[in-house]
Chain A
């Protein structure tokens, strides 16, 4: 009986294109990943429908964490002179006794999370000690001890007329009074325009904004 010969197919596929694509994706992710330096405090910002991207420009960033601590940071596009000016000014004004080395150190990581009086002590800590040191945050509670006001004032004058962004980054669980205190520190400096840092979110379908966005393309 003649048997039907089924042609034997090679079960081994050629995986070369597949591997090519895989490595292409790999290359893309390597390029696209930007490692950001670990933050001193972990902050999960809330989400909003705003589609404006955060600009990495000159600015002041105030962060609020979930425990009610407030941090002040300066962000420069390239020239770190304003940061240096602010700290040097603070140094002479308050007799902090910071060394040039400590100021240079600060420029690398310009985040203030301690009351001005403790700045010298904090700057004196070693890298490892800084990591384990829990920063108490800047006092913002009432107008008499509102140090954030001082930092903002000095930073604004150090940027001397440049266009700067005032960014506020708050944790989901930060309390409103803290936010209010931060706002009042800015308001006392005659600053009324803020950018709240948020995570992107989709516009709910059927709402007014949804119609506008769709109409606008």
Chain B
């Protein structure tokens, strides 16, 4: 094991006869405990240190406005609405919600699947028309919200909005969840 060898080398320099030889004490120190302690501390600091400093995700919210003409109008063809519900479920529809038998465009997916949906939408829609509306319901978690906002960054979506969910949509989520169970 590691040790310090600091002495003993007498380089062939003979002592004269008759001079009493002093007893040589070993200067070798056993460093094993020190090294043990060293590694213990290393392990401790590795485990306790937080190497990753927190990052921040910027979020800009629009001003609440009552006036209808100030609201940004979104083209129906370019709109994708994403609904977040409990247990990390994601629902989405394109354009207007139509729940009639003929055109049920209310679809269910999860956080893995939603990326492909966004990518597809992005590819089929002109960039200036594309707008994503995010509506978390009251059972969605904060993580879900951040994840979906993150998905906007990942897919470089320029226009998106965080909006309150409509009662119709919430009902639909409940119905879908019940039927799924």
Chain B, Cβ-Cβ closest to A196: B57
Q: How many chain A residues touch B (Cβ–Cβ < 8 Å)?
A: 61
Given A196-B59, A197-B54, A199-B54, decide whether A48 and B146 contact each other with a Cβ distance below 8 A: yes
In the complex the two chains form, is A197's CB within 8 Å of B62's CB? no
Tell me the number of A-to-B contacts counted with CB atoms below 8 Å: 170
In the complex the two chains form, is A176's CB within 8 Å of B59's CB? no
In the complex the two chains form, is B2's CB within 8 Å of A53's CB? no
Which residues of A lie under 8 Å from residue B48 when comparing CB positions? 33, 35
Which residues of A lie under 8 Å from residue B41 when comparing CB positions? 26, 30
In the complex the two chains form, is B2's CB within 8 Å of A16's CB? yes
Complex-state Cα separation, A135 to B56, whole angstroms: 26
In the complex the two chains form, is A175's CB within 8 Å of B60's CB? no
In the complex the two chains form, is A51's CB within 8 Å of B58's CB? no
Give min CB distance, A2 to chain B, whole Å. 34
In the complex the two chains form, is B142's CB within 8 Å of A179's CB? yes
Q: Interface 1/0s, chain A 143-169, versus B by CB < 8 A?
A: 000000000000000000000000110
Interface of A, helix, strand, loop or mixed by DSSP: mixed
Q: Does B55 contact A (CB under 8 A)?
A: yes
Q: Does A4 contact B (CB under 8 A)?
A: no
In the complex the two chains form, is B155's CB within 8 Å of A19's CB? no
Given A51-B55, A176-B138, A197-B54, decide whether A207 and B144 contact each other with a Cβ distance below 8 A: no
Chain B, Cβ-Cβ closest to A36: B50
In the complex the two chains form, is B156's CB within 8 Å of A194's CB? no
Set B31, B46, B61, B140: member contacting A194, Cβ < 8 A: B61
Complex-state Cα separation, A113 to B145, whole angstroms: 24
Q: Does A134 contact B (CB under 8 A)?
A: no
In the complex the two chains form, is B153's CB within 8 Å of A48's CB? yes
A to B CB contacts below 8 Å, 22 in the list:
A19-B31, A19-B35, A22-B39, A22-B42, A25-B42, A26-B45, A52-B58, A54-B56, A170-B142, A173-B143, A176-B145, A179-B145, A187-B64, A192-B61, A195-B58, A196-B56, A196-B57, A196-B58, A198-B54, A198-B57, A199-B52, A200-B55
Q: Given contacts A172-B143, A195-B56, could you give 17 more A-B pairs where the C-beta distance is less than 8 Å?
A: A15-B2, A22-B39, A26-B42, A32-B49, A46-B143, A50-B150, A52-B58, A170-B142, A176-B140, A176-B141, A176-B142, A177-B138, A192-B60, A193-B61, A195-B59, A197-B55, A200-B52
Binding site for A on B (CB under 8 A): 1-2, 31, 35, 38-39, 41-42, 45-46, 48-64, 84, 115, 119, 122, 136-147, 149-150, 153-156, 164
